[in-house]
Structure 1
Protein backbone atom coordinates (compact mmCIF):
# COMPACT_ATOMS: atom_id res chain seq x y z
CA UNK A 1 0.00 0.00 0.00
CA UNK A 2 1.54 3.35 -0.96
CA UNK A 3 2.00 5.84 1.85
CA UNK A 4 0.38 9.26 1.60
CA UNK A 5 2.82 11.97 2.62
CA UNK A 6 0.05 14.47 3.39
CA UNK A 7 -1.42 12.19 6.11
CA UNK A 8 0.77 11.78 9.18
CA UNK A 9 -0.01 9.19 11.87
CA UNK A 10 -0.39 10.54 15.40
CA UNK A 11 -0.24 7.13 17.12
CA UNK A 12 2.08 4.15 16.73
CA UNK A 13 1.40 0.42 16.68
CA UNK A 14 1.93 -0.20 20.39
CA UNK A 15 -0.22 2.81 21.33
CA UNK A 16 -3.04 1.66 19.04
CA UNK A 17 -3.03 -1.95 20.27
CA UNK A 18 -2.98 -0.78 23.91
CA UNK A 19 -5.74 1.80 23.31
CA UNK A 20 -8.03 -0.71 21.61
CA UNK A 21 -7.38 -3.26 24.39
CA UNK A 22 -8.42 -0.66 26.98
CA UNK A 23 -11.57 0.69 25.25
CA UNK A 24 -12.70 -2.50 23.47
CA UNK A 25 -11.43 -5.43 25.60
CA UNK A 26 -14.14 -7.81 24.35
CA UNK A 27 -12.67 -7.69 20.81
CA UNK A 28 -9.91 -10.14 21.62
CA UNK A 29 -11.20 -11.59 24.92
CA UNK A 30 -7.79 -12.69 26.25
CA UNK A 31 -6.41 -13.61 22.82
CA UNK A 32 -4.60 -11.77 20.06
CA UNK A 33 -7.03 -12.44 17.23
CA UNK A 34 -7.16 -8.87 15.85
CA UNK A 35 -3.92 -6.85 16.00
CA UNK A 36 -2.39 -3.85 14.29
CA UNK A 37 0.87 -4.79 12.57
CA UNK A 38 1.71 -1.62 10.60
CA UNK A 39 0.85 2.06 10.48
CA UNK A 40 1.98 4.20 7.55
CA UNK A 41 1.13 7.72 6.45
CA UNK A 42 -2.44 7.37 5.19
CA UNK A 43 -3.08 3.80 6.21
CA UNK A 44 -2.47 0.71 8.28
CA UNK A 45 -2.36 -3.06 8.21
CA UNK A 46 -4.36 -5.09 10.70
CA UNK A 47 -4.23 -8.86 11.08
CA UNK A 48 -6.73 -11.52 12.01
CA UNK A 49 -4.98 -14.56 13.44
CA UNK A 50 -7.84 -16.80 12.35
CA UNK A 51 -8.27 -20.03 14.26
CA UNK A 52 -11.03 -22.54 14.97
CA UNK A 53 -13.40 -20.00 16.53
CA UNK A 54 -13.38 -17.92 13.30
CA UNK A 55 -14.36 -20.82 11.03
CA UNK A 56 -17.72 -21.72 9.59
CA UNK A 57 -18.56 -25.24 8.37
CA UNK A 58 -16.20 -26.32 5.62
CA UNK A 59 -13.12 -24.75 7.20
CA UNK A 60 -13.75 -21.29 5.76
CA UNK A 61 -13.12 -18.14 7.80
CA UNK A 62 -16.58 -16.68 8.39
CA UNK A 63 -17.84 -13.54 6.71
CA UNK A 64 -18.49 -11.84 10.07
CA UNK A 65 -14.84 -12.42 11.06
CA UNK A 66 -13.59 -10.80 7.82
CA UNK A 67 -16.13 -7.97 8.18
CA UNK A 68 -14.82 -7.33 11.70
CA UNK A 69 -11.27 -7.24 10.35
CA UNK A 70 -12.23 -4.55 7.82
CA UNK A 71 -14.08 -2.56 10.49
CA UNK A 72 -11.12 -2.75 12.87
CA UNK A 73 -8.89 -1.60 10.00
CA UNK A 74 -11.04 1.51 9.57
CA UNK A 75 -11.00 2.11 13.33
CA UNK A 76 -7.20 1.87 13.41
CA UNK A 77 -6.93 4.27 10.45
CA UNK A 78 -9.10 6.89 12.13
CA UNK A 79 -7.47 6.49 15.55
CA UNK A 80 -3.93 6.57 14.19
CA UNK A 81 -4.52 9.62 12.00
CA UNK A 82 -7.26 11.68 13.71
CA UNK A 83 -6.32 10.83 17.31
CA UNK A 84 -7.42 8.49 20.08
CA UNK A 85 -11.14 9.13 20.43
CA UNK A 86 -12.94 5.91 21.34
CA UNK A 87 -16.22 7.38 20.09
CA UNK A 88 -15.22 7.37 16.42
CA UNK A 89 -17.84 5.10 14.86
CA UNK A 90 -18.58 3.29 11.62
CA UNK A 91 -21.26 4.99 9.55
CA UNK A 92 -20.96 2.72 6.51
CA UNK A 93 -19.10 -0.46 5.59
CA UNK A 94 -19.48 -2.54 2.44
CA UNK A 95 -17.59 -5.75 1.78
CA UNK A 96 -17.21 -8.00 -1.25
CA UNK A 97 -16.06 -11.57 -0.66
CA UNK A 98 -13.95 -12.97 -3.50
CA UNK A 99 -12.47 -16.29 -2.47
CA UNK A 100 -12.26 -18.68 0.45
CA UNK A 101 -10.00 -17.78 3.37
CA UNK A 102 -8.63 -20.56 5.54
CA UNK A 103 -7.37 -20.39 9.13
CA UNK A 104 -4.08 -18.56 9.60
CA UNK A 105 -2.95 -14.95 9.32
CA UNK A 106 -5.27 -12.73 7.28
CA UNK A 107 -4.16 -9.15 6.64
CA UNK A 108 -6.25 -6.10 5.82
CA UNK A 109 -4.20 -3.42 4.08
CA UNK A 110 -6.24 -0.28 4.72
CA UNK A 111 -5.91 3.07 3.00
CA UNK A 112 -7.46 6.40 3.90
CA UNK A 113 -9.13 7.82 0.81
CA UNK A 114 -10.27 11.05 2.49
CA UNK A 115 -9.75 12.39 5.99
CA UNK A 116 -11.90 15.36 6.90
CA UNK A 117 -12.89 16.99 10.19
CA UNK A 118 -15.97 14.83 10.70
CA UNK A 119 -15.62 11.85 8.31
CA UNK A 120 -12.94 9.47 7.13
CA UNK A 121 -13.40 7.30 4.01
CA UNK A 122 -11.19 4.22 3.62
CA UNK A 123 -10.79 0.96 1.76
CA UNK A 124 -9.24 -2.42 2.66
CA UNK A 125 -7.66 -5.12 0.57
CA UNK A 126 -7.96 -8.30 2.65
CA UNK A 127 -5.38 -10.94 1.71
CA UNK A 128 -4.76 -14.49 2.92
CA UNK A 129 -3.07 -17.77 2.16
CA UNK A 130 0.48 -18.54 1.08
CA UNK A 131 0.05 -16.59 -2.16
CA UNK A 132 -1.52 -13.58 -0.32
CA UNK A 133 -4.44 -13.37 -2.76
CA UNK A 134 -7.28 -10.94 -2.16
CA UNK A 135 -10.09 -12.77 -0.34
CA UNK A 136 -12.27 -9.69 0.24
CA UNK A 137 -12.37 -5.97 -0.43
CA UNK A 138 -14.14 -3.42 1.77
CA UNK A 139 -14.90 0.29 1.69
CA UNK A 140 -16.22 2.29 4.58
CA UNK A 141 -16.75 5.57 6.35
CA UNK A 142 -16.06 6.51 9.95
CA UNK A 143 -17.59 9.44 11.82
CA UNK A 144 -15.09 11.48 13.81
CA UNK A 145 -16.54 13.20 16.90
CA UNK A 146 -15.99 16.94 17.24
CA UNK A 147 -12.95 17.90 19.32
CA UNK A 148 -13.88 18.59 22.92
CA UNK A 149 -12.44 21.58 24.72
Structure 2
Protein backbone atom coordinates (compact mmCIF):
# COMPACT_ATOMS: atom_id res chain seq x y z
CA UNK A 1 0.00 0.00 0.00
CA UNK A 2 1.19 3.50 -0.81
CA UNK A 3 2.67 5.63 1.97
CA UNK A 4 0.14 8.29 3.04
CA UNK A 5 2.06 10.12 5.80
CA UNK A 6 5.68 11.25 6.07
CA UNK A 7 7.78 11.12 9.24
CA UNK A 8 7.11 14.84 9.76
CA UNK A 9 3.35 14.36 9.42
CA UNK A 10 3.41 11.37 11.78
CA UNK A 11 5.42 13.38 14.32
CA UNK A 12 2.98 16.29 14.12
CA UNK A 13 0.02 13.90 14.52
CA UNK A 14 1.56 12.16 17.53
CA UNK A 15 2.40 15.44 19.27
CA UNK A 16 -1.04 16.90 18.59
CA UNK A 17 -3.16 13.85 19.44
CA UNK A 18 -0.97 12.39 22.21
CA UNK A 19 0.81 15.37 23.80
CA UNK A 20 1.52 13.35 26.95
CA UNK A 21 4.04 11.18 25.04
CA UNK A 22 4.58 12.92 21.70
CA UNK A 23 7.99 14.34 22.62
CA UNK A 24 9.36 10.96 23.75
CA UNK A 25 9.70 9.46 20.25
CA UNK A 26 11.64 10.17 17.06
CA UNK A 27 10.21 8.66 13.89
CA UNK A 28 12.17 7.58 10.81
CA UNK A 29 10.82 8.12 7.32
CA UNK A 30 8.40 5.25 6.57
CA UNK A 31 9.36 3.02 3.66
CA UNK A 32 7.99 -0.11 2.03
CA UNK A 33 9.79 -2.30 4.59
CA UNK A 34 8.38 -0.42 7.62
CA UNK A 35 9.65 2.26 9.92
CA UNK A 36 11.85 2.74 12.97
CA UNK A 37 10.83 4.63 16.10
CA UNK A 38 13.31 5.77 18.74
CA UNK A 39 12.38 6.01 22.41
CA UNK A 40 14.42 8.84 23.88
CA UNK A 41 15.19 7.05 27.14
CA UNK A 42 14.93 9.28 30.20
CA UNK A 43 14.90 8.65 33.94
CA UNK A 44 11.08 8.28 33.84
CA UNK A 45 11.47 5.17 31.63
CA UNK A 46 13.71 3.36 34.12
CA UNK A 47 12.84 0.79 36.73
CA UNK A 48 14.86 -0.15 39.81
CA UNK A 49 18.24 -1.44 38.70
CA UNK A 50 18.56 1.25 36.02
CA UNK A 51 17.03 -0.64 33.09
CA UNK A 52 14.19 0.44 30.82
CA UNK A 53 10.83 -0.71 32.20
CA UNK A 54 8.55 -3.19 30.48
CA UNK A 55 5.73 -0.63 30.20
CA UNK A 56 8.10 1.75 28.39
CA UNK A 57 9.07 -0.96 25.92
CA UNK A 58 5.39 -1.86 25.47
CA UNK A 59 4.62 1.80 24.70
CA UNK A 60 7.45 1.93 22.16
CA UNK A 61 6.18 -1.20 20.37
CA UNK A 62 2.60 0.07 20.40
CA UNK A 63 3.53 3.51 19.06
CA UNK A 64 5.76 2.03 16.36
CA UNK A 65 3.07 -0.24 14.90
CA UNK A 66 0.38 2.44 15.30
CA UNK A 67 2.45 4.98 13.37
CA UNK A 68 3.35 2.43 10.71
CA UNK A 69 -0.34 1.71 10.15
CA UNK A 70 -1.14 5.44 9.99
CA UNK A 71 1.67 5.92 7.48
CA UNK A 72 -0.39 3.62 5.21
CA UNK A 73 -4.00 4.64 5.97
CA UNK A 74 -3.58 8.31 6.90
CA UNK A 75 -4.36 10.13 10.16
CA UNK A 76 -6.99 7.81 11.64
CA UNK A 77 -6.95 8.46 15.39
CA UNK A 78 -9.43 5.66 16.06
CA UNK A 79 -7.19 2.78 14.98
CA UNK A 80 -6.84 0.85 18.26
CA UNK A 81 -4.79 -2.03 19.61
CA UNK A 82 -6.87 -5.19 19.98
CA UNK A 83 -4.12 -7.69 20.80
CA UNK A 84 -0.45 -7.80 21.72
CA UNK A 85 1.99 -10.57 22.48
CA UNK A 86 5.35 -9.37 23.76
CA UNK A 87 8.52 -11.27 24.60
CA UNK A 88 11.20 -9.63 26.74
CA UNK A 89 14.51 -11.29 25.81
CA UNK A 90 17.31 -9.43 27.54
CA UNK A 91 17.99 -6.38 29.65
CA UNK A 92 18.35 -3.23 27.54
CA UNK A 93 21.72 -1.49 27.61
CA UNK A 94 21.99 1.27 30.21
CA UNK A 95 22.00 4.90 29.17
CA UNK A 96 21.07 4.50 25.50
CA UNK A 97 17.89 4.96 23.48
CA UNK A 98 15.77 2.05 22.30
CA UNK A 99 14.95 1.51 18.62
CA UNK A 100 11.80 -0.27 17.46
CA UNK A 101 11.82 -1.63 13.92
CA UNK A 102 8.20 -2.17 12.87
CA UNK A 103 6.85 -3.95 9.82
CA UNK A 104 3.34 -4.71 8.64
CA UNK A 105 2.42 -8.33 8.12
CA UNK A 106 -1.16 -7.62 7.03
CA UNK A 107 -3.16 -4.51 6.31
CA UNK A 108 -6.77 -5.48 5.74
CA UNK A 109 -10.06 -3.65 5.65
CA UNK A 110 -10.81 -4.16 9.36
CA UNK A 111 -7.59 -5.44 10.96
CA UNK A 112 -3.87 -4.75 10.69
CA UNK A 113 -1.14 -7.02 12.04
CA UNK A 114 2.39 -5.84 12.74
CA UNK A 115 5.64 -7.11 14.17
CA UNK A 116 8.27 -5.15 16.11
CA UNK A 117 11.87 -5.83 17.16
CA UNK A 118 13.27 -3.57 19.87
CA UNK A 119 17.02 -3.11 20.25
CA UNK A 120 19.29 -0.93 22.33
CA UNK A 121 21.02 1.65 20.15
CA UNK A 122 24.40 0.31 19.08
CA UNK A 123 23.56 -3.36 19.79
CA UNK A 124 22.09 -5.69 17.15
CA UNK A 125 20.68 -8.15 19.69
CA UNK A 126 16.93 -7.74 20.26
CA UNK A 127 15.80 -6.90 23.80
CA UNK A 128 12.12 -7.48 23.03
CA UNK A 129 9.76 -8.40 20.24
CA UNK A 130 6.05 -7.87 19.87
CA UNK A 131 3.27 -9.00 17.57
CA UNK A 132 0.32 -6.63 17.49
CA UNK A 133 -3.16 -6.50 15.98
CA UNK A 134 -5.10 -3.29 15.45
CA UNK A 135 -8.72 -2.68 14.66
CA UNK A 136 -9.11 -0.11 11.89
CA UNK A 137 -11.91 2.47 11.80
CA UNK A 138 -14.54 2.06 9.08
CA UNK A 139 -13.89 4.06 5.92
CA UNK A 140 -16.19 6.84 4.95
Q: Same fold (TM over 0.5)?
A: yes
State which drifts further: 65-74 or 94-103. Answer: 94-103
Normalising to structure 1: TM-score of the pair? Answer: 0.88
Question: Aligned to 1:10, which of 4, 14, 23?
Answer: 4
The counterpart of 2:124, out of the listed 129, 132, 138, is 132
Pick one of 101, 108, 122 that aligns with 1:116.
Answer: 108
Cα distance in 2 for partners of 1:140, 1:103 equals 27
Q: Identify the match of residue 77 of structure 2 among 86, 91, 103.
A: 86
SS at match of 2:29: strand
Q: Deviations over 1:49-108 (max 9, x none)?
A: 111110001111000000000000111011101111111100011110011113322110
Match of 2:46 in 1: 55
- Select the residue among 78, 83, 86 that pairs with 1:95: 86
Q: Normalising by the residue count of structure 2, what TM-score does the alignment of the two structures yield?
A: 0.94
Report how many aligned residue pairs link the two structures: 139
Aligned 8 A contact 1:93 1:141 in 2: yes
**Equivalent residue, structure 2, for 1:4:** none
Identify the residue that residue 21 of structure 1 maps to in structure 2.
15
What is the match of residue 3 of structure 1?
none
Where in structure 2 are there 5+ consecutive unaligned residues? none
- For structure 1, the residue ranges without an aligned partner over 5 or more in a row are 1-6
